[in-house]
Chains A and B, each alone.
Chain A
Amino acid sequence: MPALRAEGVYKVFGRRPGEAVRRLQAGASVEDVKPHGTAAVIDASFEVADGETFVVMGLSGSGKSTLIRMLNGLWRPTSGRVMIGDTDISGISGRELRALRQQRVSMVFQHFALLPHRSVLDNAAYPLALQDVDRTERRRRAGEALEMVGLAGWEDHLPSQLSGGMRQRVGLARALAAGTDILLMDEAFSALDPLIRREMQEQLLELQQTLGKTIVFITHDLNEAMHLGDRIAVMREGRIVQIGTSEQILSDPATDYVAQFVADVDKTRVLTAASVMVRPAAVVTTGAGPRVALREMREAQASAAYLVDRDRTLRGVLRDDDVVQALRDGSDSLVDLTRDEVTAVSTETLLMDVFAPSAETPLPVPVVDDRGRLVGVIPRVTLLEAMSRNLADPTTVSADADPAALDGTTTEVSA
């Protein structure tokens, strides 16, 4: 039996939802039924197996949030059935629904949805308090969940004292502490910075290996979908247009829309700079002098370093020989030494557009965010690796490319 099943699920917002569904079933288009209401989800059917990570992907407004909210009964389908195990949740009472949410399905939210006035530990223990678990047991289990997501030692802090990534770890710990088999995650990582986001993805995959939860994960990001999903459902304007593994979707797109989405089966056209970038080895801030810059390079065993402002805005590249020369000349300013021989790319740049900048220099190509701040680099070897890998299997690229993604919380604590 599947852990979760949707059968012909519709959700229409508006004045006459029932009528809209009848017309849609008779073949009317979304535009035709507009006067009766907004069709957010149309005829969605799928099964999620026990222990599977099922990703729902689609652009903004395609109905993803509406769909996931029907899976735990936050919203009732206008038509169709949602089954959790063998329970049809459309037909049960409010009390039964609450019991089901406490015991079977928990949720992680896009903007974390923590209780700001309660400590990290109390936030993680919140579902257990609702389940009337006694206080010591509750604290023990919440503490365990926090440890699982790497937040041991932060129990007594308030959410406002944590970085975005850490807050979402609390959100994840809360869902894990609930002890349910099913986890719903609505754009759980979308609000996080690219590198933190990657760390969270790795952590989820790691946890998933030991916990084996059934996960429904919503995202609008193809990279994330392919990285996390055992299977992916692509949604467009309320309809699920294809369900399959990332390989199936890449190699055999069901519609032109999906084909466009995964353009040319060439993953250098699908994967973005953010998805393969790694942490820059040597970074020096403009306030520092030549000595600091040299030490930084020595420690990183690199012959060059990236010079950034205090707010991490990229200023240019420093070469070791220039810095040594400056040290001999007794010069103090690093800014004058920078060479702009390296072209930076943005996080959203597709890999195919990173080749040109990469060919210009032996140095890793710096990746900057929309405010020009250095967020990562792409070494040439990473790029070549991504290109040479089996085209239908892009999911592992980002996992291997960034050893830093696997270690702990270092970046966020300082963020």
Chain B
Amino acid sequence: MSVTSITSVLTDPGFRLPLGDWVDAGVDGLIATFGGLFDLIRTVLIGGFEAVETVLITPPMWIVALVLAGLAYLAKGWRLALGALIGFLVVQGVDQWGNAMASLALVLVASAIALAIGIPMGIWAASSDRVSAAVRPVLDFMQTMPAFVYLIPVVIIFSVGPVPGLVATIVFALAPGVRFTELGIRQVDQEVVEAGHAFGSTPRRILRQIQLPLALPTIMAGVNQVIMLSLSMVVISGLVGAAGLGRDVVSALSRVNVSLGFEAGLAVVILAMYLDRITSALADRSPVAKALRTTSA
């Protein structure tokens, strides 16, 4: 076919590239073939989410708040702990504590799964240029494709509730876990890695004793990013029926309820600050970060 005939087909007003139809057919095909797998994923995600949510919601508010503030104290110090406690009281004060804990459960489960997939992927990508080149466009796709778009097939596959929200969050938050891990490992001084080889270490031991510890500050920055991105998906999760702050934001939007929207939104911000400060404090506490701060006796 000549170039002119292709262009004439493409510009013909009756012609349309049936990309959407193909995706439609693809989703149907997916459900038909992998139905069992999707059920399994669904069961695992719901199980994980409900377990964490139960732990956070069942005890009285003040016990959970004190424990979370205690973690802040261990990670950073009493200032952060105090700040966290005040923040939690505000959340309780606007009657969003239950929602906040549901959202926290969602963020924790989604981040944990995103990291459980992302960090090993990052390690793999760091070890091979070919894997790295293959993974990169997939990550770009996952991160830049508007979440609403893949939310539709995800809802078709998993129906409404916490699961589609979790899946969409994991997909969206996965990329920095992979990227930062790969970057961190590739940035490790090659001479030190070579020293590992030169003294007869195995690649696995070099990964454990040299590459991962030295990459840890960067990986922790990735962990922080994963958690922050997960939190940013809370509203979208609310849209597809996950309980929590997101659902209140969505209903505030549909009812044009400014005060409810603001209160739920504020609770999201407080959660975000808490999680951000804790993860950055943990990054600063890694042995390498400490060693690099120490100069001259």
Which of chain B's residues have a CB closer than 8 A to the CB of A100? 200
Smallest CB separation, B137 vs chain A (Å):
25
Contact B295 A161 (CB under 8 A): yes
Binds B, one of A44-52, A106-114, A270-278, A354-362: A106-114
Contact-size category for B: 20 to 34
- Complex: A98 Cα to B195 Cα, angstroms: 12
B3 at the interface (CB under 8 A from A): no
B195, B210, B291: the one within 8 Å of A109 (CB): B195
Which of chain B's residues have a CB closer than 8 A to the CB of A189? none
A102, A116, A127: the one within 8 Å of B291 (CB): A116
Contact A117 B213 (CB under 8 A): yes
Contact A130 B201 (CB under 8 A): yes
- Complex: A113 Cα to B210 Cα, angstroms: 11
A395 at the interface (CB under 8 A from B): no
- Complex: A107 Cα to B197 Cα, angstroms: 10
A90 at the interface (CB under 8 A from B): no
Contact A114 B291 (CB under 8 A): no
Contact A102 B192 (CB under 8 A): no
A74 at the interface (CB under 8 A from B): yes
Contact B199 A110 (CB under 8 A): no
Contact B200 A117 (CB under 8 A): no
| With A98-B201, A117-B291, A130-B199 as contacts: A110 and B213 at CB distance below 8 Å | no
Contact A74 B199 (CB under 8 A): no
B191, B194, B197, B294: the one within 8 Å of A158 (CB): B294
Which of chain B's residues have a CB closer than 8 A to the CB of A99? 200
Contact B200 A127 (CB under 8 A): yes
- Complex: A161 Cα to B201 Cα, angstroms: 26
Smallest CB separation, A155 vs chain B (Å):
13
Interface centre among B192, B290, B292 (most CB of A within 10 A): B192
A15 at the interface (CB under 8 A from B): no
Which of chain B's residues have a CB closer than 8 A to the CB of A174? 199
A72, A74, A109, A116: the one within 8 Å of B288 (CB): A116
Contact B197 A116 (CB under 8 A): no
Q: Which residue of A lies closest to B198 (CB)?
A: A107
| With A109-B191, A158-B294, A160-B295 as contacts: A117 and B199 at CB distance below 8 Å | no
How many chain A residues touch B (CB < 8 A): the figure is: 31
B205, B290, B295: the one within 8 Å of A130 (CB): B205
A101, A113, A114, A161: the one within 8 Å of B296 (CB): A161
Smallest CB separation, A89 vs chain B (Å):
13
Q: Mark A157-174, 1 if CB is under 8 A from B, else 0.
A: 111110000000000001
Which of chain A's residues have a CB closer than 8 A to the CB of B209? 115
Contact A72 B198 (CB under 8 A): yes
| With A107-B195, A110-B191 as contacts: A160 and B292 at CB distance below 8 Å | yes
Q: Which residue of B lies closest to A178 (CB)?
A: B199
- Complex: A208 Cα to B96 Cα, angstroms: 73
B24 at the interface (CB under 8 A from A): no
Which of chain A's residues have a CB closer than 8 A to the CB of B29? none
- Complex: A19 Cα to B290 Cα, angstroms: 50
| With A116-B288, A116-B292, A161-B297 as contacts: A127 and B199 at CB distance below 8 Å | yes
Smallest CB separation, B205 vs chain A (Å):
7
Q: Which residue of B lies closest to A129 (CB)?
A: B209
Q: Mark B238-282, 1 if CB is under 8 A from A, else 0.
A: 000000000000000000000000000000000000000000000
B95 at the interface (CB under 8 A from A): no
Given contact pairs A111-B189, A115-B192, A160-B291, a sample of 20 additional A-B residue pairs in the complex whose CB atoms are under 8 Å apart: A74-B197, A74-B198, A98-B202, A99-B200, A101-B199, A106-B198, A110-B191, A113-B189, A113-B192, A114-B192, A115-B213, A117-B213, A117-B288, A126-B199, A130-B200, A131-B200, A158-B294, A160-B292, A160-B294, A174-B199
B residues sitting closer than 8 Å to A (CB atoms) are 189, 191-192, 194-195, 197-202, 205, 209-210, 213-214, 287-288, 290-292, 294-297
A residues sitting closer than 8 Å to B (CB atoms) are 72, 74, 98-103, 105-107, 109-111, 113-117, 126-127, 130-131, 157-161, 174, 178, 184
